[in-house]
A and B are shown apart, each in its own frame.
Chain A
C-alpha cells in the first residue's frame, strides 16, 4: 500500500508519488494549481474580473485583513457566538441524553418526537429569532443551539445505548450506586460518541453562526461579507469568504486534535458512527 509498509529490504523502486513526502507536496501543488487556474480565469477574462477578481488580489487583501483590527473584531464576534452556542448545546444535549438514555421507557417514548424535531432545518427559525431577539447575539445563539443540539444528542443516545450489559450488571452486583454507574460505566462508553457529536456540532455551529450574521445581520464575519457585497467591494468579500473557509479548517483540525487527546486512553479509538 504505502511506502512505509513495504519491507525496507526490497530493492524494487517505489513509484515516485508513493514517497512519504509526496502526498503533502502534491497537496500543496494542487492548491497552487487551483489558485493559478483562478488567477488565469480572471486575468484572461473568461470570468468577468469584476465578479471574480484574480486570486493574487484576494490573497493580498486577506493578508491585509490579518493585520487589521476590524477583521479580528469580526472574527471574535463570530467565534464568540460559535463558542457560547456550542457550549450550551453540548451541555444540554449531554444532560438530556444521559437522562433519556438511562431509561428504556424514556428512550422509547421520546423516539418519535426526537425523530420529528431533528430534521427541522434550523434556518426555519430565522423569522422567529428576528421577532424574539432582533439583531442581537441571542438570535445567532437560538439557531446555533438548535442546530448543534440534535447532532450531539443523537450521538449521546447512541453512546448510552452501546453500554455493555455485562459491565453494567457487574457494576450493579458490586453495589455501585446510580451516580457511580454513570461515572464509571456509562460515561466512558459514551465519551467517544459525545466527542464525535461535538465535532459534527462544531462544524454545524459555524455554518449557523455565519448564516445568522449573513441573513439576520448580527455582528460578525457574515455581516461584513454581506456589507461588502451590497457595497460592491468584491475583493474584500472574497477575502472574507476565504477567511471563513480557513476558520472552518482550523475548527476541523482542532476538533480532531481534541478527539485524539480526550480518547488517548481508549483502546481502540472507534471509527466514526455514520451520521
Chain B
C-alpha cells in the first residue's frame, strides 16, 4: 500500500468525525454540547497553567508510583508463589477472591484505615493493580517449559542466572499481559480515588468543573484523561515490542 493511502486510512475517519462534530455544533447554543474549536482554545489555559503543577503532575506521579510498586511486588510475589507448589495451593482460592473484589470498593476501606491522603491513593492503585500482575506471573512461572527446566538443571544453571534466563524470560509474555491490564485499572483508580473526598488531582478538578457547571472545562478534562490513556497504551505497546521481541519473532516463525 502506498504511503498516501496508509496515511488516509490512518487519519481519515478521525478527521471526518472532527469535521462532523464541528459542522453539527456550529449553530448550536445548547450549553451542554461542547464545540471543538472552543475546547481547543481553552484546553491550554485550563491545564497548562497552575493546574499542571497542582493537579496533573501529582496525579500522574501517584499513578506511576502505584503501578510501579504493584509491578515489582506482583512479579516478586508471583515468582515465589509460582515456584512453591504448597504456597500456590494455599493461596489460590484466597487470591481468586481478592481479585474478584471490584477495586473501587477498597477506596472507602483504605480511606478509613489510612485516611484521605497521598498514601491512600497510591495504596488504592496498588491494591487494584497488583492482582493481574501477580496472577499472570504465577501462571507464567508455573508454565515454564519442563524440558528447558531440566536442561537448566543439567547445565548447572541455578539461582540468579536461572531466574533471569529461564523463569523471568518464559513468564514475560504473561507478565506483560498482566501489566497491560493493571495500567488501565490504575488509571481508573487514580481518577476515582481523587473524586472521593480529595482536594487536588485530575479527578477532583473534573468533578469540580462539573459541580460549578463549567461544562467546556469539564470536557477538556475528559479529553485530557483520554489522551493520558492513549499515551499510556502507546508507551506500553512500545515497551512490549522491545521486551517481547524474541517472543513475537518466535510466533511468526511458528506460523
Contacts and interface: CB of A to CB of B under 8 A. Distances in A.
A26 interface: yes
B113 A111 contact: no
Interface in A84-139: 108-113, 115-128, 130-132
A23 B14 contact: no
B250 interface: no
A211 B104 contact: yes
Given A120-B229, A215-B196, A113 B17 contact: yes
A241 B101 contact: yes
Contacts, number: 173
A23 B100 contact: no
A51 B112 contact: yes
B104 A210 contact: yes
A125 B98 CA distance: 27
Given A31-B93, A119-B184, A124 B113 contact: no
A9 B85 CA distance: 25
B129 interface: no
A226 B113 CA distance: 15
Interface in B192-243: 192, 195-196, 203, 206-207, 209-210, 215, 218, 221-222, 225-226, 229-230, 232-233
Interface stretch (A68-76, A165-173, A243-251, A257-265): A243-251
Interface residues of A, number: 64
Interface in A22-47: 22-23, 26-31, 33-34, 47
Given A33-B90, A127-B209, A245-B100, A120 B107 contact: no
A26 B207 CA distance: 46
Contacts of A34: 94
A210 B106 CA distance: 11
Interface residues of B, number: 59
Given A112-B11, A124-B222, A119 B102 contact: no
A220 B96 CA distance: 24
Given A17-B86, A113-B14, A119-B232, 12 more contacts: A27-B93, A30-B89, A115-B233, A116-B230, A119-B226, A127-B207, A127-B210, A207-B103, A226-B108, A241-B106, A241-B109, A249-B96
Interface of B: 9-14, 17, 32, 85-86, 89-94, 96-109, 111-113, 173, 177, 180-181, 184, 187-188, 191-192, 195-196, 203, 206-207, 209-210, 215, 218, 221-222, 225-226, 229-230, 232-233
9 contacts: A27-B89, A27-B92, A124-B222, A126-B206, A222-B104, A237-B112, A240-B105, A248-B100, A249-B96
